[in-house]
Structure 1
Amino acid sequence: MSAPIRTGSSPFDAGPAPAAPAVRALTGKLGPVAIVFMVVAAASPLTVVGGAAPLGILLGNGVGFPALYVASGVILLLFSVGLAAMTRVVPRPGAFFTFVGHGLGRRAGLGAAYLALLTYTTVQVAVYGYLGYILSVTFAQLGVAELPWWLWALAVAALVGVLGYRHIDLSSKVLGVLLVGEIGIVLAVVAGVVLTGGDQGLSLEPFEPANVFSGSPAIGLTFAIAAFIGFEATAVFRDEARDPARTIPRATYAAVIGITIFYTLASWGLVMAWGPDHAVDVAAADPGAMILTTTAKYLGTAGEVIVNVLLITSMFACVLSFHNVITRYQHTMANAGLLPGAVGAVHARHLSPHWSSLVQSATTVLLVLVFALAGLDPVLEVFTWFAGVATLAIAILMAVTSLAVIVWFRRTRQDARVWNTVVAPALGLVGLAGAAVAIVANFPLLVGDVDAAGNQQFGATSAVLLALIVLCPAAGWVQAVVLRRRSPETYARITEAIG
């Protein structure tokens, strides 16, 4: 937040907010590179290359899967055009929450806020499950006393909580170092493939139409879209950016383009490493180990060990980045009067949303303990189920945001650029809506809701998880309705978020 709420011509201005006893303004000097590091770290590049890409090859459209990263990148770049235009004229840090509220009304905005919290909370806890499992297995193999996954997850949550409590600059530096390591090892593997000519020579077969549309491209697109989760959170760091009007759009475009190029190149390298004739078979043998076996083949045992280590740091970077995103969403909502006021306070020395960080840490601990007591498998259930929820929720959020951008600019006429405010957002909306439909159609497969024969079915698991995606925004909508009746001043401030 750069200034207190002020009165003016905006339909959301409602006079000055009540005086706050604590500092509530986030500040910082983050440049485009620092913000890109944080949001790309949330996308967890090495985890995607090592986990999602092999599954996309196996369950999606086979060797044509790399082309779907290009398709996803185009869709999300179109979405980013409208997002960047909205960022310039609505200088608020709430991202989805604020933009949907301005375009489609406060009730829709508050619904989007709760859906965003669900998205980032579920993807974070999903990674905690996977990370806890990997740490448990890794240290057991090293001869360290074997501990359950949830204890490792709680230990990581404690470290993330410490970093999240402090100034954002510290997190950005940690994430930057980890991200460079991830990208470096993947590029080294791709370089090894290119220099040796791969298994069957280098080719562009993954981009041939016959391969792109083979198998199940809808399932492949689902995995590809999921790999981008986190890039859109650039706007959340607005108040901590050096020059928000320039930094946020640049960081958004850089994140989308960078992620697209990286994932396309990396997945193409995986296919070339084993050849178009054998890549699917290697993925089928053990999708989770495909990146390890590929690294061992082209970089030797030392490379395999490095990838093992960086897979762990990749997931740590992911949960730290999402922790920062969630704390800022909560901070923004608290300053709009939608969460307890203390959550919106800022630490006097660290200049961080420290109470929001503590709330987020407590939420993580609670969820991990609940899953542990329920006996959920950290990979097959915690990771698979909640990653599926996050994937569908983010597609819906971005589609609704694209619609809000179009409506806002058509109503206010604040930007005369048709491409930026109508055409690009509309194309992005169509692509994202199509992706959401594809995800729903394949949701049972995403969350492992299959019968004994391996066929997907809309069973109890799918029903409960899909219900979360409906109930969370519905709860926000209901809260907005109640606030409109009982606290008109708070209702009027919903989309201001102390901007």
Structure 2
Amino acid sequence: MNNTTINDAPKTARRTQENRLSGNMGVGELVMNVLAFSSPLATVAGTLPVLLMFSGKTAPAIYMLVTLMLLIFSVGFVKMSRSVQGAGGFYSFVTAGLGKPAGLGGALLALFGYIFIGFFAPSFFGVTLQGFVVNTLGGPDIAWYWYALGITAVTTVLAYNRIDLSAKVLTIVMLLEVAVIVVFDVVSFSANGLEAVQAAGFALPSLTDASLGLALLFAVGNFFGFEATVIYRDEVKNPDKTISRATYVAVVGIGIFYAVAAWAYIAFFGASNAQTAAKENTVNLFNDSVTALTGKIFADVAMVLLITSVLACMLSIQNISARYSFSLAQDRALPAILGKVHPRHKSPYVSAVAVGFVWAAATVVFTVLGVAPEALYPIASGSGTFAVLLLMFITSGAVLVYFLRRRSTAPESVWKTIVAPLISVVFLGAITWLAITNYPELIGGSAVLTVIFMTFTFALFIGGIVYALYLRTKRPDIYVRLGRQITD
């Protein structure tokens, strides 16, 4: 008996290693994965004008307020990442705090939320590249869905490979994007002199402003991606230090970066005119501003990088989605084939391909149904954003409950384990409520679509709970694994 145990030990260790993801990302590369999710150029060119439309000269201050609140969220989040070390991300966190049924519900919110957010990219990429090829390059008018299928194939190949390859691609693209936005900031601040920059200032928003809620909601959405640092636990160097540092750097970096970009818009148009300019020219505000400030050649370069920005964003989301699918499959809550690890790349290659297939199939289906691509990306992005926001709110509650339970046996810093998580619950609860009350604006859709997609989102969480309860009764061997608590 003892001989069998000794002989089996190396096999068990080898099998465990074969079923684990592997990578060598450091803080910088992990931060670039996060930044890619927020798609800097797409945010500055697409989302910031919308935020300016709602908030005007108070946009920079709103970004700094959201930065402060998410830094507070990060305190409990980082503390939790050191206490719950499974590579399941929010799936593991919610399980540890609220139990396996809620954990499985949270995992389904994460998986479908990220897949939905990512599906904005193929249609947006297709339409943008089609217009650039025809209108700027004078090239052939190729249907948008071919470009959409093409980008899906490219990101799937990259996601199939070792995470280090994706990290290198994302780092290069992000550095180029950041460079373009920095140039835009500098020339915007320089255009009207120092007095214009000082006049733009950092005006504080009024609590009585009717559009403040929507402005906060859109600003929070620009930070998404930082919360996924924990899903890469097995693929980074020194996880405890790398994840915590990358989380704080990402939140602070994103907040300052977008606050300065908003300030640059305001300095260029003037504090009293920025909101009106954004309302009158929301779609082309960035392109027209860059063209006026730097000329058409630089504006065309910015457009090319906007296209690659969408690719980077899609790749980042595909990597995250694949890892949630992988975690669920490892726990046998999804088909085991999705939990396979590539023998050489140490990547969740089957899950990565599955996510790409879902996006490609959805593109084909909506094309056949005749749905305009312009109608797809706001619905996909908005509904997915709501799912992830709801998940963050649930996770903040799970973190608070987890540490409250431990206080009698393992008391720790009151700030890190009680106060910061409690503030996060209140803040994210308020933002979630704003998302619910403004859901039509979030998805750019009708009342009917609001009911459909909001019902589906809550059904995901409730369905996960019901599924877990079923597993507890019928498949206890699977139930005990939920939350990445057992590793093969």
Q: TM-score, normalised by structure 2?
A: 0.93
Equivalent of residue 150 in structure 1, options 145, 151, 154? 145
Is contact 2:98–2:401 with CA below 8 Å preserved after alignment? yes
Structure 2 residue matching 1:236: 3-state secondary structure: helix
Is contact 1:335–1:497 with CA below 8 Å preserved after alignment? no
Matches within 5 A, 1:237-248: 237-248=232-243
The yes-or-no answer on 1:138 pairing with 2:132 is: yes
> 1:303: Cα distance to partner?
1.8
Matches within 5 A, 1:426-441: 426-441=422-437
Structure 2, unmatched stretches of 5+, are: 1-11
Number of the residue aligned with 1:442: 438
Is contact 1:335–1:498 with CA below 8 Å preserved after alignment? no
Is contact 2:87–2:484 with CA below 8 Å preserved after alignment? no
Number of the residue aligned with 2:360: 365
How many angstroms apart in 1 are the aligned matches of 2:203 and 2:111?
39
Number of the residue aligned with 1:466: 454
Matches within 5 A, 1:195-234: 195-197=190-192, 201-203=196-198, 205=200, 207-209=202-204, 214=209, 216-234=211-229
Number of the residue aligned with 1:286: 281
Instruction: Look up the equivalent residue of 1:371 and give its one-letter code.
Output: F
| Larger CA deviation: 18-27 vs 90-99 | 18-27
Structure 1 residue matching 2:198: 3-state secondary structure: coil
> 1:23: Cα distance to partner?
2.5
Is contact 2:339–2:348 with CA below 8 Å preserved after alignment? yes
Change (3 A) 1:419 1:114: same
How many angstroms apart in 2 are the aligned matches of 1:173 and 1:182?
14
Q: How many residues align?
A: 474
The yes-or-no answer on 1:85 pairing with 2:79 is: yes
Is contact 1:64–1:214 with CA below 8 Å preserved after alignment? no
> 1:18: Cα distance to partner?
13
Structure 2 residue matching 1:288: 3-state secondary structure: coil
Number of the residue aligned with 2:172: 177
Where is the helix percentage greater, Structure 1 or Structure 2? 2
Number of the residue aligned with 2:413: 417
Number of the residue aligned with 1:271: 266
Structure 1, unmatched stretches of 5+, are: 1-16, 451-458
Is contact 1:62–1:214 with CA below 8 Å preserved after alignment? no
> 1:215: Cα distance to partner?
5.0
Equivalent of residue 488 in structure 1, options 473, 476, 485? 476
How many angstroms apart in 2 are the aligned matches of 1:196 and 1:147?
38
How many angstroms apart in 1 are the aligned matches of 2:49 and 2:443?
16
Structure 1 residue matching 2:271: 3-state secondary structure: coil
How many angstroms apart in 1 are the aligned matches of 2:184 and 2:265?
9
Structure 1 residue matching 2:346: 3-state secondary structure: coil
Change (3 A) 1:260 1:402: same
How big is each residue's C-alpha offset from its partner over 1:392-428, in whole Å with a ceiling of 9 and x where there is no partner? Answer: 2222111111111111111123451111111111111
Is contact 1:385–1:447 with CA below 8 Å preserved after alignment? yes
> 1:497: Cα distance to partner?
5.0
Number of the residue aligned with 2:466: 478
Change (3 A) 1:250 1:41: same
Change (3 A) 1:18 1:192: closer
How big is each residue's C-alpha offset from its partner over 1:295-348, in whole Å with a ceiling of 9 and x where there is no partner? Answer: 122222222111111110111100000011111111111111111112111111
Instruction: Look up the equivalent residue of 2:359 and give its one-letter code.
Output: T
The yes-or-no answer on 1:342 pairing with 2:337 is: yes
Structure 1 residue matching 2:127: 3-state secondary structure: helix
> 1:42: Cα distance to partner?
0.6
How many angstroms apart in 2 are the aligned matches of 1:237 and 1:278?
44
Is contact 2:200–2:263 with CA below 8 Å preserved after alignment? no
Is contact 2:122–2:148 with CA below 8 Å preserved after alignment? yes
Instruction: Look up the equivalent residue of 1:134 and give its one-letter code.
Output: T
How big is each residue's C-alpha offset from its partner over 1:207-257, in whole Å with a ceiling of 9 and x where there is no partner? Answer: 323668645111111110111111110001000011011111111111101
Matches within 5 A, 1:392-407: 392-407=386-401
Is contact 1:178–1:313 with CA below 8 Å preserved after alignment? yes
> 1:387: Cα distance to partner?
1.5
How many angstroms apart in 2 are the aligned matches of 1:376 and 1:103?
41
> 1:45: Cα distance to partner?
1.1
How big is each residue's C-alpha offset from its partner over 1:180-226, in whole Å with a ceiling of 9 and x where there is no partner? Answer: 11111111111112233459711364632366864511111111011
Is contact 1:199–1:272 with CA below 8 Å preserved after alignment? no
Equivalent of residue 163 in structure 1, options 141, 155, 158? 158
> 1:83: Cα distance to partner?
0.9
| Larger CA deviation: 314-323 vs 280-289 | 280-289
The yes-or-no answer on 1:390 pairing with 2:384 is: yes
Matches within 5 A, 1:9-24: 23-24=18-19
Q: TM-score, normalised by structure 1?
A: 0.91
| Larger CA deviation: 31-40 vs 383-392 | 383-392
Number of the residue aligned with 1:111: 105
Change (3 A) 1:376 1:19: farther
The yes-or-no answer on 1:189 pairing with 2:184 is: yes
How many angstroms apart in 2 are the aligned matches of 1:460 and 1:211?
32
> 1:436: Cα distance to partner?
0.8
Structure 2 residue matching 1:201: 3-state secondary structure: helix
| Larger CA deviation: 383-392 vs 161-170 | 383-392
> 1:144: Cα distance to partner?
2.5
How big is each residue's C-alpha offset from its partner over 1:150-207, in whole Å with a ceiling of 9 and x where there is no partner? Answer: 2211100000111111111110000000001111111111111223345971136463
Instruction: Look up the equivalent residue of 1:382 and give its one-letter code.
Output: L
Percent identity at matched positions? 33
Number of the residue aligned with 2:65: 71
> 1:281: Cα distance to partner?
2.5
Q: Considering only aligned residues, what root-mean-square deviation do their CA atoms show, in Å?
A: 2.1
Number of the residue aligned with 2:3: none
Structure 1 residue matching 2:104: 3-state secondary structure: helix
How many angstroms apart in 2 are the aligned matches of 1:439 and 1:179?
29
> 1:148: Cα distance to partner?
2.1
How many angstroms apart in 1 are the aligned matches of 2:231 and 2:199?
38
How big is each residue's C-alpha offset from its partner over 1:37-93, in whole Å with a ceiling of 9 and x where there is no partner? Answer: 0111011111111111101111x1222122211121112111111110011011111
How many angstroms apart in 2 are the aligned matches of 1:212 and 1:439?
17
> 1:475: Cα distance to partner?
2.0
